[in-house]
Amino acid sequence: MRISLMTTCLVDVMAPDVARATVILLERLGHQVVFDKRQTCCGQMHTNSGYYTEAAPVVRSFVDTFEPALDTVDAIVMPSGSCAGCVRDQHQLVARHEGDSELEERAAAVSAKTYELSELLVDVLKVTDVGAYFPHSVTYHPTCHSMRFLKVGPRPLKLLRAVDGIEVKNLPESDTCCGFGGTFSVKNDATSDAMVTDKAANVVRSGADFVVAGDVSCLMNIGGKLRRTGAAPKSIHLAQILASTKEDPFVPSETILGRSA
């Protein structure tokens, strides 16, 4: 299949290895990945903060980038539950807020072909064992947007359980938000900190070496807290585990969500 990668702005800048891992994984599975460099951002930071008017040109840019290629690609993939959720649930709301019914229609067409990574693998590519190797213990944090808005359900766990050498440990209070919430993490920093402190403590309690999720934003939040407190577990994106093989195993770098070499 021909799959268009929307890295998300956060991944492009702050966690480039997650996008690299997505490319490596999909190519290993025999698919062709395309990356349109006109892509910028889905606009989630704007929409969730209430800046629909400012989000509108971002959404338009997104649609302008991906709509022309809809006939030539089979799917658009985003390694982020919240960004995929924004495309699916909010792009049309933004267009409506601006009274732009043409944009609303085009956004709907793009959104219909847009998938979060675990959805793409399980639902579109029909694969759960991707041939990955990851000889470490992990605990899975179902991020709120994947769990409650996209409803990815057990897909990420199915993919993880099929990984060779992995041990999946239980995360206490796993369904509680990590406290990221976009601008919430800065506007309500004290509350957000209380939430991520509890989340990081639960990750430590799980006894796993890694906390895995499908959202870089949440992983940056949890990983940043773990690192600040000097706790041992590291955060890792689902794509990074699925890209890891015996031949080319994942080795974490000092950078949060980074991979050495």
| Cβ neighbours for 256, distance < 8 A, ≥ 6 positions apart | 15, 219, 220, 223, 224, 227, 234, 235
**Dihedral (CA of 82, 115, 120, 34) sign:** negative
If the CB atoms of residues 52 and 140 are measured against another protein, the closer one turns out to be 52
If the CB atoms of residues 48 and 244 are measured against another protein, the closer one turns out to be 48
In three-state secondary structure terms, 137 is: strand
- CB under 8 A, 24+ apart: contacts of 159-163: 159/118, 159/121, 159/122, 159/128, 159/130, 159/238, 159/242, 160/212, 160/238, 160/241, 162/128, 162/129, 162/130, 162/132, 163/130, 163/132, 163/133, 163/134, 163/241, 163/242
DSSP annotation of 214 reads: S
If the CB atoms of residues 163 and 216 are measured against another protein, the closer one turns out to be 216
